[in-house]
Amino acid sequence: MSQDRRYSFEFFPTKTDAGHEKLLATARQLATYNPDFFSCTYGAGGSTRDRTLNTVLQLESEVKVPAAPHLSCVGDSKDDLRGLLNEYKAAGIKRIVALRGDLPSGMGMTSGELRHANELVEFIREETGNHFHIEVAAYPEMHPQARNYEDDLANFVRKARAGADSAITQYFFNADSYFYFVDRLQALGVDIPVVPGIMPITNYSKLARFSDACGAEIPRWIRKQLEAYGDDSQSIQRFGEQVVSEMCERLLQGGAPGLHFYSMNQAEPSLAIWNNLKLPR
């Protein structure tokens, strides 16, 4: 945890040309803050593969910020993955976020040749050596499909030992869950940097739906205050900014090696937190 801190932002590929232009405009605005990299998500079963590829290449070549594509293994053959890795390598991409990935509706777990993220990490290392800095996912509050917390820790340890360089967490709103997770990993001999994933709060109903689906806990006191604001979006955003900024301050003071902002393709909510923390530019 002693390395220099790093700060990054995540995007998701859009379905429309207008949305894509907005994404690039947001990226250019965020680029003025000199983040270490941008990441770009990859839909269930590789459903946004081409859009992810195109977005990553534009972020790298036009916005001039290092880009890290998400790469998931369910639903893809080794040949598919090998082809993508070769394209990214040829384009000068140096960082990959390696994930198992979500299964599209109706797709069985047997789809694809690799079933788990640690297998994908091993495959990337076998194919490309140390060309890529490999990020993996971490779940301080436990992956929603894990059998229990101990199993989830063991899954993370497998990813780290397969060759992962660092990790980005699912978002959370309880700093203690992050510190406990990191302490447990260190007790198991795993010391790769684990960067907290940060979700700005801008819309309560969307956040509640998303959190219920991905297993991120919204503490009861936060949930009740957000409910009390009803449709008052200004109060929701003001309260959310304060709560998340204070949590980020505590995370950094406690030794977190950086922050990864889930931008949702918007600049202002993440930058409000960045500015509150007086992060370097």
Is residue 10 part of the annotated active site? The answer reads yes
- Contact by Cβ (8 Å): 112, 77: yes
Whats the size of the chain, residue-wise?
A: 281
Residues in contact with 174: Cβ distance below 8 Å, sequence separation at least 6, in sequence order: 141, 217, 219, 247
- Contact by Cβ (8 Å): 239, 229: yes
C-alpha 124/C-alpha 138 separation (Å) is: 19
C-alpha 52/C-alpha 58 separation (Å) is: 10
Nearest 10 degrees: CA dihedral of 135, 137, 139, 145? -160
Please pick, among 10, 60, 135, 241, the residue that the annotation labels catalytic.
Answer: 10
In the three-class reduction of DSSP (H, G, I as helix; E, B as strand; rest coil), residue 195 is classed as strand
Instruction: Count CB neighbours of 278 within 10 A.
Output: 8
- Contact by Cβ (8 Å): 76, 103: no
- Contact by Cβ (8 Å): 70, 41: yes
Residues with a catalytic annotation lie at 10
